[in-house]
Amino acid sequence: MSTETLGFGQLITRLDKLQGRRLKIDKEIKKTQSLVIRQSKKRLSKEGRRGPVPGSKKPKQRSLDEFIQDVMIPGKPMTPAKVTELVREAGYKTMGKGNFLAATVGLRMREHSHIKHVKRGIYVYNPRAKKRNRSASGQFAKAS
């Protein structure tokens, strides 16, 4: 239908219909634009950030070495099993199953510079002992 053959009243009616459609389309465009902006902000905030959301992660606990030092009594011979029991009572949390923590405590006690291996399964804590350095071969070297 050609608009040139329409009368004045018909042109006004057609113009009103087209403007109504235009308003609906403009609203739909604005709505879609706001959705696109919202989605892009979410994507940028997720991609631009590393690590957990601030405040969502629990604070880290102290290291196992710190717990071991706290529970061992200087000069008193202790077994890794007893130290493990005291470490757990002191509040150390582990995800390991079974005897995992006891084995780890034993290894840490053997490697610790202030804990001396007296005999099989017996360790003594001396907070004032000189630090031991491991050489490349795994043997202890004298501290300088």
| Segment 64-121, tens digit of pLDDT | 888 888 888 888 999 888 998 898 888 888 877 767 888 888 888 888 888 888 888 8
Query: Concatenated DSSP letters for 38-76?
Result: HHHHHHHHHHH--SSPTTSSPPPPPPHHHHHHHHSPBT-
We find that the CATH architecture of domain 64-141 is: Orthogonal Bundle (1.10)
pLDDT at 44: 59
Residue 68 buriedness (CB in 10 A; 0-12 / 13-18 / 19+): buried
- Checking if the pLDDT of 51 tops 70, the result is no
| Segment 33-47, tens digit of pLDDT | 988 888 877 765 655
**Dist. CA 96–CA 102, nearest whole Å:** 10
Residue 112: how many other CB atoms lie within 10 Å: 19
| pTM of the predicted structure, to 2 decimals | 0.50
Domain ranges of the chain: 3-48, 64-141
